[in-house]
Structure 1
Amino acid sequence: MTARGWVVVFAATIVIGCGESSDGSGGIARPVTTFNGVPYGATCDGDASCGGQQDSCCLGGKCSAEGWCSPKCESDQDCPEGFYCIDHSGTRCFSACEDDRDCPTDFICEEKSGHRTCRFK
């Protein structure tokens, strides 16, 4: 292959690697983990969307207008792996992150309750 051919292959690889996520937003998709029948991190419009457990859909505020499936928690052990129990006007499980790039579109990585987690902007 010629040098020009390798440049084309390299450029195509970069473009494909920088494409949109599965959620179509251009950012990463929400991390969703099913734990005790609840799809933690999934969007929700009510508790039924989160397996039916009372107060398991967090709407608005740090959870986002689309909602965030996360029943209330008392400690990190109440959350699935990759999530921490964070106090945002009541304790709920939020996904772990190192920086903003680890969070879904419109979420930022924030230090709170001794952990770095994604929360809605």
Structure 2
Amino acid sequence: MLTLMRLKLYTSSGRTRAENDNYSPDIRTAYATYARAALNRQDYSVAAANAAKARVDHPLMDLSEYKKGFSTPNSEWIWSCYGASDETLYFYSYQAYIAYNSSAGAVRSTPKCISKILYEQLPETDIRRNFFL
């Protein structure tokens, strides 16, 4: 109930954000957060309804965007820690912990890779095959 009140307050505030300021929350962020909380409560209908509201104005990446990777903000990002162009993601990103050129301690002590057996199970048409050398 309290969350619904907060969503109504957010909506009635009229607060918006600039298109490229995805590090600032907006109503879509509130819907996404509420959807995630509902999912954790196993309230799947509420989660689905709010996730759909969160996705409005945030179309999924097309194939060319998908192939560029996930470290540059695009239309799919609802909210992020990414700020101005002079800020970096360094240790915020998942890739910082799995990339072989990373200096993160997790890479040095336990390097990550896909097994050849798993890789060969991916169909030739699966785009994820392109993400491995």
TM range (shorter): under 0.3
Q: Of the two, which has the highest radius of gyration? A: 2
Higher normalized strand content (fraction of residues):
1
What TM-score do you get using the length of structure 2 for normalisation?
A: 0.22
What TM-score do you get using the length of structure 1 for normalisation?
A: 0.24
